[in-house]
Amino acid sequence: MAGLSLRCGDCGALLRTVEEAQEHAELTSHSDFSESTEAVLSLVCTTCRKPCRSKTETDLHTKRTGHADFADKTLEAAKPIDLVAAERPSINSVENAIVGSAAASGSEPSEEMVIPEVDKKLLEELESMGFSTARATRALHFSGNDSVEVAINWVADHEDDPDIDQMPLIPISSKQETSKPSLTTEDVMMKAQELRNELVKEGRRREKDGKRKREGSYGAPSSTYPYPFLLLIVQKVIPFPVPINLGASPRKYRERIRVGKELLAAKRMEEENERKRIIELRKAEKEEEKRARDKIRQRLEEDKAERRRKLGLPPEDAGSTKPPPPPVEEKKSALPIKPVTKVERMRDCLRALKQNHKEDDAKVKRAFQTLLTYVGNVARNPDEEKFRKIRQNNPTFQDRVGSLHGGVEFLELCGFEQVEGGEFLFLPRDKVDIVVLNSAGSELNSAITNPFFGVL
């Protein structure tokens, strides 16, 4: 199958003609080109008829205009590529032609061909869409400088013209503009030299400042120069790096935005889970306080009835007494943070420890803090064996936890086992459950900070 395009081996860009490949090589310094059977995409917007050559261009066009329907005319526009490049005029040949014609006539050329004047703003807008300067100028000139849409429609209708990428030239007499002073041959040569020097200085300055990767084409002919056709010729002779592959930047920006959104969503989910966990803990503390108040109220009623019995007074009328509040049914948490059954057993164990030693609050509080230290060390360092092994006959352990009823039972609920004839309490590494340890730590914190914990 004949080749339909030329592929750049350095950046992967597909080019329609050898001329485009030469311009691409001059602008990017890429030199590895090969013939490809893959045709350059020709996607035409069905709304405004703007042609796009890649998926990136269609995405940018959709983002800018909102047009999302494109017609694929790749097969219609595909044709074998001509590997013979047309000879491009050099600056010396153009200058010699100008000098020769001036010398032959003995005066300035009578019918000098110049580039037509077009709307500068419309030209810049077409260049920002990806059109070359020559194609944009030709479209604006032949469409009457009306609007960007009209120029795009003209390009779509004349895309197969052989001279679509050539700069249009018209006689100077046909230009509709104010008269300008004519230039002699020496003036033209001087202007060309000045423009050449300015371009060299501009290229060196941009290279020194490190602005090679700046988006946009700063090497295109500037409309501020009075003779842009000379600037085009000089640019072919003295090229400097111009970033023209704008498709990669939006893709990188979209990837960064997507990763940022994912990280933000994960952070919000983590914050939401933490908020729910805190709400569950506060709810459990409130329920514990409510149960403690109910028990105190019940004990007061019993003491009151006992005093009336001792004084020989009749019991209070059952109708006058307020009915006891209905038992509060505990709702299980929907979050998989702590197993409810084991947590209840831990709470009962701590409540029994406080009730059995309620005459010494300082000793009970010290026992709770010691248990919290054991549990926290294992939760933070599950791989350290020294935190998972406790000698039961240690004087400090016996004084703070071992001698109190319920201390060893609480550690066994956390996963500790008695080994070596009961000399040690050991928590195997494969039985370390971080969720259970976190639940135990929450219960110990509640027992330490809640003044109503285990009152009855």
Q: Assess contact for 95 and 192: CB atoms under 8 A.
A: yes
CATH code at 338-456:
1.20.58.2190
Q: Are 150 and 143 in contact (CB under 8 A)?
A: yes
3: Cα separation from own chain's centroid: 39
Residue 139 is encoded by which pair of tokens?
A: 């479209």
Q: Residue 314: exposed, middle, or buried by beta-carbon count in 10 A (0-12, 13-18, 19+)?
A: exposed
- The count of other CB atoms within 10 Å of the CB of residue 132 is 17
End-to-end CA distance of the chain: 93
- What pLDDT was estimated at residue 175? 58
Give the burial class of 320: count Cβ atoms within 10 A of its Cβ; 0-12 exposed, 13-18 middle, 19 or more buried.
Answer: exposed
Interacting residues of 379 by C-beta distance below 8 A, sequence separation 6+? 434, 437, 438, 441
- What whole-number distance in Å separates Cα of residue 17 and Cα of residue 84? 9
Residue 174 structure tokens:
């046909």
CA–CA distance, 283 with 286 (Å, rounded to integer): 5
70 vs 351: CA distance, rounded Å: 73
Secondary structure class of 218 (helix, strand, coil): coil
Q: What's at 279, amino acid-wise?
A: I
> Containing H/E element for 290?
helix 248-310
Taking only the tens of pLDDT, the chain with its 456 residues reads: 556 777 788 887 777 787 888 888 887 878 787 877 777 788 888 888 888 877 778 888 888 888 888 888 877 777 777 666 554 444 444 445 444 444 444 444 455 778 888 888 888 888 888 788 888 888 888 888 878 888 888 888 888 788 888 888 887 766 544 344 455 667 777 777 888 788 788 878 877 776 555 544 444 444 444 444 444 444 444 444 444 343 445 677 677 788 888 888 888 888 888 889 899 888 988 998 899 999 898 988 888 888 888 887 777 765 555 555 665 555 554 445 444 578 888 888 888 888 888 788 888 888 889 989 998 998 888 888 888 888 888 888 888 888 888 888 888 888 888 888 888 889 888 888 888 888 888 888 888 888 777 665
Residue 6: which H helix or E strand, with range?
strand 5-8
pLDDT for the residue 83: 66
Report the C-alpha gap between 327 and 416 in whole angstroms: 34
Helix (H, G, I), strand (E, B) or coil at 426: strand
> Residues 300, 313, 296, CA angle at the centre, nearest 5°?
5
Please report, for residues 108, 182, 190, 198, 206, the alpha-carbon distance to residue 194 in angstroms, rounded to integers and kept in the order given. 21, 18, 6, 6, 18
Structure token digits, residue 401: 């936890």
Task: Give the residue from 189, 198, 204 showing the smallest Cα distance to 221.
Answer: 198
* Domain parsing of the chain, residue ranges: 256-323+332-337, 338-456
Cα 336 off chain centre by: 31
What's the pLDDT score for residue 319?
Answer: 54
